[in-house]
């Protein structure tokens, strides 16, 4: 009874182990088990580590770590087998460093260069170490006259990106020369532009005038104008029935907005003492 219970536990553990393995790994484990004589007792089963043909065909077709995951072997085992078979590494074969890429090493941080060249950070560092190129350090880099000429012409953030320096380094350099920070010229508002505010959405007006949405919204609020909203049929039916001033109070709109809407629909203005006209 005890042996049967122990056997059931072993069977359950074996099933749980196989359930976590891929079909290719199960095939390798099940297909390479051989009999080996034990010194004492009956023969035992032991999995063979010899490489199968389908595993060898994978070498060099994808990265070594991908092959290792597919065949259930370690990365070092896959790399060693590939090198013994004389099969080139796919990564090295496809992404050799060009002379132009080598010239960029050390001119910027390794992380920035990795993003620019679409390579791994470790690959950039290894290449730089192999060529004996020192790590980039913007603090120790001397400023050139052409770089100094950009100070104050753009914002410190834009200058830092363009020169591949930190914002703090650009700011310190600018202040040391007594150069004021960049301040874009403010564009004044014309009466024609002010008339557009509130007649359309702020985003639409911003595109028409070539301005930022935030600038348009702030200008409209400074003038006390409400944000544009579309007119409903119920609101349109009130136009001309009461005065524009009264309609603006009822509809929470500006008198100018009510008048523009009424004129657009060619509705005559309300006249005191006139008969009320109901429009459906």
Question: Is the pTM above the cut of 0.85?
Answer: no
Which stretch of DSSP H or E encloses residue 46? strand 44-47
Average pLDDT over residues 206-234: 82
CA–CA gap between residue 179 and residue 161 (Å, rounded):
19
Model confidence pLDDT, tens digit, residues 137-184: 756 677 888 888 888 888 888 888 888 787 877 887 888 888 888 776
Q: In 10 A of CB 251, how many CB atoms?
A: 18
Average pLDDT over residues 111-129: 83
pLDDT band at 45 (very low <50, low <70, confident <90, very high): very low
pLDDT at site 68: 86
d(CA 202, CA 218) in angstroms, rounded, equals 10
Q: What is the DSSP letter of 255?
A: H
> Hey, is 44 helix, strand or coil?
strand
Cα→Cα distances 5→2, 19, 22, 115, 172, Å: 5, 21, 28, 58, 77
Cα–Cα distance for residue pair 204/188, rounded to 1 Å? 19
All structural domains of the chain with their residue ranges: 95-131, 138-176, 185-228, 230-280
Where does residue 194 rank: exposed (0-12), middle (13-18), buried (19+ CB within 10 A)?
middle
pLDDT tens digit sequence for 47-83: 457 888 888 888 888 778 888 888 888 888 888 898 8
């Amino acid at each position: 009874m005890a042996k049967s219970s122990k056997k059931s536990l072993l069977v359950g553990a074996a099933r749980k182990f196989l359930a976590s393995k891929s079909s290719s790994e199960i095939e390798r484990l099940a297909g390479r088990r051989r009999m080996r004589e034990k010194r004492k007792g009956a023969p035992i089963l032991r999995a063979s580590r010899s490489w199968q043909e389908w595993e060898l065909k994978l070498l060099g077709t994808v990265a070594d770590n991908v092959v290792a995951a597919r065949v259930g072997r370690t990365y070092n085992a896959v790399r060693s087998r590939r090198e013994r078979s004389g099969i080139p590494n796919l990564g090295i074969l496809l992404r050799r460093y060009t002379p132009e890429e080598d010239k960029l090493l050390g001119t910027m941080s390794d992380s920035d260069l990795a993003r620019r060249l679409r390579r791994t950070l470790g690959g950039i560092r290894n290449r730089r170490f192999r060529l004996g190129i020192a790590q980039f350090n913007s603090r120790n880099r001397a400023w050139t006259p052409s770089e100094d000429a950009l100070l104050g012409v753009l914002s410190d953030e834009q200058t830092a990106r363009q020169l591949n320096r930190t914002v703090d380094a650009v700011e310190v350099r600018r202040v040391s020369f007594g150069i004021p920070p960049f301040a874009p010229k403010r564009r004044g508002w014309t009466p024609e532009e002010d008339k557009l505010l509130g007649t359309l959405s702020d985003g639409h007006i911003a595109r028409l005038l070539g301005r930022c949405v935030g600038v348009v919204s702030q200008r409209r609020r400074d003038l006390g104008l409400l944000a544009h909203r579309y007119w409903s049929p119920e609101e349109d039916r009130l136009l001309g029935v009461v005065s524009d001033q009264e309609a603006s109070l009822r509809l929470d709109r500006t008198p100018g907005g009510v008048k523009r809407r009424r004129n657009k629909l060619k509705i005559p203005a309300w006249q005191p003492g006139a008969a009320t006209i109901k429009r459906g």
